[in-house]
Structure 1
Amino acid sequence: MSWPLLVAAVAFALVNGANTGATLLSVTHTLDSVGHLLALLLLALGVMAGPWLFGTAVAARFAQKLLPGGGGERSELSMLVAVVTTLVVVLALTRMSVPTGLTLAFVGSLAGVGAASGAGVPWGSVLVVLGTMALAPVLGALIAAAVVAGLARRLHSRHVSRSLGRVHAVCFPALALGYGASDGQKMLAIAAVALGLSSSAGGDAVPAPAPLLVATGVLFALGSAIGHRRMSRRLGRGLLPVRPLYAVTSEIATTGALLGSAGVGAPAGVAQTLTGSLVGAGASQGLGRVRWPQVSAIAVAWLVTLPTTFGLSAAVTGGLRVGGVW
């Protein structure tokens, strides 16, 4: 067991909640059918139940296929460098109000460690993950556009809020579960490596004992509660005015994309998928509804994130090799 990596895993779960979990909460703040405390509980339960119901193939992708080191202390050090680099870059960009994706940063960090450590970059797995992350927002946008068209015809003006509230009450738990089945498993992967569990299950699985899942869910929910207010303010000046119809639609579309990505054992990147879903929902009722400069800024930030984390983690790894630590 690696105590430094375990501490980093706790920090990662909190920061992940403050970014991704708070985003999931903020998109639905226009609906009151699921209260704030209940939403936090559902997010925690989704993180806990997702790996149990859908397997841990996504966690195995991070802990076994993307992680260099070959097991043991070298893998723990590789993961520690990748996690710390990811946190530094994401927190720095967040402080500068630059949007970024935690999963994309993490993939870049793992690849940078592999390139500089001499272990090599598993380009096959990297391309599968990046391909899934690129496809998911497009799929989310298409699903959202179709759902908006269908709901808009069927909802009557007098009962819109009530009807959308009922849909939200079903969709938000499904979204939390989809997150736990896909993108949320990077937290499980880090903790499993820290505890020495990642190599004990081989193949396409990572052990997920109940105490570990509960701890991860609680930390994620706590981070979500901490970051919710900040993310709500940012969302209001973001892609588009988030109407209840768009919020529910983005939940449906993002859930579909997340569950689809879990089926291929790769994370979808919930921030990117949710962004694509919101853009698809708004654009389906008129391109002018979307604040396209904001969309462009987010796209540029994502393009910057991957090479930044790759370069920084490679530099740190190279320094450790020169210093004889590696």
Structure 2
Amino acid sequence: MEHVTLLLAVVIATALAFDFTNGFHDTANAMATTISTGALGPKVAVGMSAALNLVGAFLSVEVAKTISGGIVDETGIRTQVIFAALVGAILWNLVTWLLGLPSSSSHALFGGLIGAAVMSAGVSAVDGGVVVTKVLLPAVAAPVVAGLAAFVASRLTFRIGRHADDAATAKGYRAGQIASAALVSLAHGTNDAQKTMGVITLALVTGGVLAPGSNPPVWVIVCSGLAIALGTYIGGWRIIRTLGTGLTDLRPQQGFAAQTSAAISILASSHLGFSLSTTQVCSGAVLGAGLGRRGGAVRWSTATRMAVAWCLTLPAAALVAAGAELVTGQGTWGIVLVAAVLVASATAIWLAARRRPVTAESVTARPAVEPVPAPQPAPAAQTPAQDAGLSATIPAPAAAAPSRSAAA
């Protein structure tokens, strides 16, 4: 019993570590456009987002129930399976953060759960119907819906304000961006913090602490909210830069349209119990807003990299989690080994990030573009010797000397 209690404590701590990585990985969802358009300073933006993430964690438990009792069969899952699933999710979060790719923390967690559960108990341990209806279909539909909504909203805002004063319009939309960013942060806490609540609740059920079908205890809600808020406050500057300036250049009107569309999509999905990827929703909204301005350009190379990361997230996390479950199933030494590999890998990724840091001061730097060649000065009059190809033998000062003498 003592070993089970210790293992359960390790799983809870690892779940909160995932929640922390989810926070700084997904800060960009709420604040990238607000920072890129100058509506809020970087540090003020992440501070506000962290506070609202904490508040949002207390608003609902529908998504948590989907995870704790829907995706996998909680009656046939051991506690170390949850640990292996979290290892896969954390490592994928850290790798994509290092690359500056706004991939889905939610799908990393789902992939980890699916891979570890299948390795432990077989395919029957996963409820395929729930995965399709509440994970895969929302993953496809949500970014498309949010993108279309942001596209239409951007077109409308530019059309409505086409005769307005540009400075006053920009100021008004920046104020609107702050309000919509607050709404996205609240929605992010409502949706994403619940995922960790669900995982911890699932671990408590597998450890015999809670009965199957139980709601998350209050202390689980509080700890999950605090962990994601702290991660958000740290600020995932690499991903903020990609989503704020790397995908497209946004004006305040577009930022407001993107954030409002994303917030509505996330809050609606949370109410319905759909465990939505806030990253994919916000990325789709930014893409739609970028296309919504006439003459707006999208950096399709960045969009393609993001799409590839989205497609790889679930299977990559599943494979890592399955491997971790294979090792942890060997006993205590396997659990210790997997924990050591997780810590070592996280440390190596952190050290690699320090070589090319992205900070609050450099987060709004635009992507480098090809330099435009400077216009060349008109060639000076050539001497007969230069015309004959002997210019290299005539020093420049000597050629300029007669001109100075003549001027004197």
C-alpha contact 1:86 1:105 (8 A) present in aligned 2: yes
For residue 136 of structure 1, what is the aligned residue in structure 2? Answer: 142
C-alpha contact 2:193 2:224 (8 A) present in aligned 1: no
CA offset digits 1:94-123 (Å, max 9, x no partner): 334555221111111111122111252211
For residue 187 of structure 2, what is the aligned residue in structure 1? Answer: 178
For residue 78 of structure 1, what is the aligned residue in structure 2? Answer: 81
CA offset digits 1:13-57 (Å, max 9, x no partner): 22111110244222210355555555445433433333533x211
**1:17 and 2:26 aligned:** no
Aligned residue among 115, 118, 123 for 1:115 = 118
Cα gap change, 1:97/1:151 in structure 2, threshold over 3 Å: closer, same or farther? closer
Q: Distance in 2 between matches of 1:161 and 1:193?
A: 47
Three-state SS of the structure 2 residue aligned to 1:52 is coil
How many angstroms does 1:322 deviate by?
5.8
Of stretches 191-200 and 269-278 in structure 1, the one that deviates more from structure 2 is 191-200
For residue 263 of structure 2, what is the aligned residue in structure 1? Answer: 255
**1:126 and 2:131 aligned:** yes
Cα gap change, 1:170/1:117 in structure 2, threshold over 3 Å: closer, same or farther? same
Q: Distance in 1 between matches of 2:143 and 2:211?
A: 32
CA RMSD of superposed structures (Å):
2.9
For residue 91 of structure 1, what is the aligned residue in structure 2? Answer: 94
CA offset digits 1:277-307 (Å, max 9, x no partner): 0111111224761111211111111112221
Q: Distance in 1 between matches of 2:178 and 2:97?
A: 30
How many angstroms does 1:8 deviate by?
0.6
Q: Distance in 1 between matches of 2:39 and 2:101?
A: 31
How many angstroms does 1:321 deviate by?
4.0
Match for 1:277: what amino acid? Answer: A
**1:6 and 2:12 aligned:** yes
For residue 279 of structure 2, what is the aligned residue in structure 1? Answer: 271
How many angstroms does 1:89 deviate by?
2.3
Match for 2:98: what amino acid? Answer: R
Structure 2 unaligned blocks of 5 or more:
336-408
Aligned counterparts, 1:1-326, within 5 A: 2-31=8-37, 34=40, 36=42, 39-53=45-59, 55-70=60-75, 74-119=77-122, 120-128=125-133, 129-155=135-161, 156=164, 157-194=166-203, 200=210, 203=213, 206-209=215-218, 211-235=219-243, 238-286=246-294, 289-321=297-329
Of stretches 75-84 and 182-191 in structure 1, the one that deviates more from structure 2 is 182-191
Q: Distance in 2 between matches of 1:52 and 1:233?
A: 29
Cα gap change, 1:41/1:294 in structure 2, threshold over 3 Å: closer, same or farther? closer
How many angstroms does 1:263 deviate by?
2.5
Three-state SS of the structure 2 residue aligned to 1:241 is coil
Q: Distance in 1 between matches of 2:245 and 2:152?
A: 25
More RCO (CA 8 Å, sep 6+)? 1
Q: Distance in 2 between matches of 1:287 and 1:267?
A: 35
How many angstroms does 1:68 deviate by?
4.2
Match for 2:181: what amino acid? Answer: F
Query: Percent identity of the aligned residues?
Result: 25
C-alpha contact 1:51 1:180 (8 A) present in aligned 2: yes
Cα gap change, 1:256/1:291 in structure 2, threshold over 3 Å: closer, same or farther? same
CA offset digits 1:222-278 (Å, max 9, x no partner): 222323433343345521113222221111011111012113212220111111001
Q: Distance in 2 between matches of 1:125 and 1:198?
A: 24
C-alpha contact 2:67 2:198 (8 A) present in aligned 1: yes
Q: Distance in 2 between matches of 1:4 and 1:19?
A: 22
Larger radius of gyration: 2
Q: Distance in 2 between matches of 1:126 and 1:297?
A: 25
Cα gap change, 1:320/1:275 in structure 2, threshold over 3 Å: closer, same or farther? same
Q: Distance in 2 between matches of 1:143 and 1:199?
A: 44
Match for 1:126: what amino acid? Answer: V
Three-state SS of the structure 2 residue aligned to 1:290 is coil
CA offset digits 1:51-99 (Å, max 9, x no partner): 533x21101111221244417xx44322211111111122234334555
Structure 1 unaligned blocks of 5 or more:
none
Match for 1:130: what amino acid? Answer: L
C-alpha contact 1:67 1:78 (8 A) present in aligned 2: no
TM-score (norm 2): 0.70
Q: Distance in 2 between matches of 1:153 and 1:318?
A: 58
Match for 1:316: what amino acid? Answer: A
